[in-house]
Chain A
Amino acid sequence: MSLSDPMLYAYLLVILAGFLPTDVFRFAAVLFARRLDEDSEVLVLVRAVATALLAGVIARLVLFPTGDLAGVPLWIRLSTIAVGVAGYFLFRKSVLAGVVVAEIVIVGGAIYFR
């Protein structure tokens, strides 16, 4: 096998371009957090940044989907989010209930409106 072998190349890609650039941040964070207390002030900020980042990831998946989901109209994707959040609160803050009603809307919407 040589480097130009696409199969071997895929494995090298996973290790050099996937594992290394990901775990370097995990390890750096462990070293950074070593001197921090569980309820230190900095962690409130760090947690807020982590929450906002994740909110950004979620909003991107809904607003700018790649792949097949892009074929489902934006208003259906946004309605799905609204129905999911409403369902969560209506069913006494049940995440599962919110997810189920949202899934009904998105699958139904994909059948009738795409």
Chain B
Amino acid sequence: MRAGIFSVQGIVLFAGFIGFGGLIRDVGFPLGAALLSTILVWALPAQLLIVGGFAAGSPAPVIALAVGLSSVRFFPIVASLMPMIRGKSGLGTQLYASHFIAVSAWVESIRLIPALPVYARMPFFLGLSNLFLWGSVATTIVGYLLAGTLPQALANGLVFLTPISFLLQLVRNARDLVDRLALVFGLALTPVFAQFGGSLDLLWIGAIAGGAAYAIGRWRRART
């Protein structure tokens, strides 16, 4: 419990869902469907695409495609975390647990889980991520009720919580050369790919920046 409630990640996550709650009220998206999206989708960027697409009147297949593209990033995130947390759990439990893996739970788990004995990792992960998910459902409602009452500068600060806290947590979690290079390359390549990468730019950034970081790390290891 303490790990979830008092982590910077928890605070920022909930702030993000307060923003989401404010947004849905703004565009006339039903609160019930928004809460369902927090439970079933559990990925704020994808949820923003749904609500944004709904507001813009985009066709459903286009929204589904955009959501799919934004959610491809879960593939490396889930694939890198699951071997750490699964212990001896069966496939069913792993599939169930994978639904709760989002960026917030990944950042906290990658940091906290290596210190835990293997048998305790899955229960810890499910406890932490359920706390995050249901806390986010509650804060979506809070944001919906708060909407429009915040002054503009504070609203800007609320939106900025997400990038600054994620960045600092990536800096903290970067344990070795490969992690640090992946972080720096990913940041540096973003303006380049935003120009030329089209709607797939994030995937290109992940593949090229991550691949280059890995290759350099491997080369360095081979030399020593």
* Cα–Cα, bound, A24→B112 (Å): 27
Nearest neighbor of A88 in chain B, beta-carbon distance: B168
| Number of residues from A at the complex interface, CB < 8 A | 77
Which residues from B are CB-within-8-Å of A20? Answer: 64
A19 adjacent to B40 (CB under 8 Å):
yes
A52 adjacent to B185 (CB under 8 Å):
yes
For the residues of A in contact with B, the DSSP-based class is helix
Which residues of B (144-174) have their CB < 8 Å from a CB of A?
152-157, 159-172, 174
B20 vs chain A, min Cβ distance (A): 12
Given A15-B40, A46-B79, A50-B210: A38 touches B84 (CB 8 Å cut-off): yes
A69 adjacent to B160 (CB under 8 Å):
yes
Nearest neighbor of B72 in chain A, beta-carbon distance: A25
Given A14-B33, A27-B95, A43-B80: A56 touches B160 (CB 8 Å cut-off): no
Given A19-B41, A30-B78, A61-B162: A68 touches B186 (CB 8 Å cut-off): no
Nearest neighbor of B37 in chain A, beta-carbon distance: A14
Which residues from A are CB-within-8-Å of B207? Answer: 49
B168 adjacent to A52 (CB under 8 Å):
no
B186 adjacent to A52 (CB under 8 Å):
yes
Nearest neighbor of A45 in chain B, beta-carbon distance: B214
* Cα–Cα, bound, A23→B64 (Å): 12
B169 adjacent to A80 (CB under 8 Å):
no
A93 adjacent to B172 (CB under 8 Å):
yes
B99 adjacent to A57 (CB under 8 Å):
no
B182 adjacent to A68 (CB under 8 Å):
no
Which of A32, A69, A71, A84 sits near B79, CB closer than 8 Å? Answer: A32
A33 adjacent to B83 (CB under 8 Å):
yes
Q: CB of B178 within 8 A of chain A?
A: yes
* Cα–Cα, bound, A22→B98 (Å): 11
Given A47-B76, A47-B80: A22 touches B217 (CB 8 Å cut-off): no
A90 vs chain B, min Cβ distance (A): 12
Nearest neighbor of A57 in chain B, beta-carbon distance: B202
Q: CB of B103 within 8 A of chain A?
A: yes
Nearest neighbor of B68 in chain A, beta-carbon distance: A21
Which residues from B are CB-within-8-Å of A56? Answer: 186-187, 189-190, 193, 201-202, 205-206, 209
* Cα–Cα, bound, A45→B75 (Å): 13
Nearest neighbor of B153 in chain A, beta-carbon distance: A110
Q: CB of B133 within 8 A of chain A?
A: no
Given A22-B71, A53-B210: A48 touches B33 (CB 8 Å cut-off): no
A66 vs chain B, min Cβ distance (A): 8
Q: CB of B183 within 8 A of chain A?
A: yes
A48 adjacent to B178 (CB under 8 Å):
yes
Given A50-B206, A55-B182: A33 touches B82 (CB 8 Å cut-off): yes
A14 adjacent to B103 (CB under 8 Å):
no
B159 adjacent to A65 (CB under 8 Å):
yes
Question: What are some 5 contacts across the A-B interface (CB < 8 A)?
Answer: A26-B101, A29-B77, A53-B205, A54-B170, A61-B163
Q: Known A-B contacts: A19-B41, A106-B157. Give 15 more (CB < 8 A).
A: A10-B54, A15-B40, A21-B67, A26-B74, A33-B83, A44-B214, A50-B76, A51-B174, A51-B213, A54-B170, A56-B187, A59-B186, A60-B190, A81-B167, A107-B156
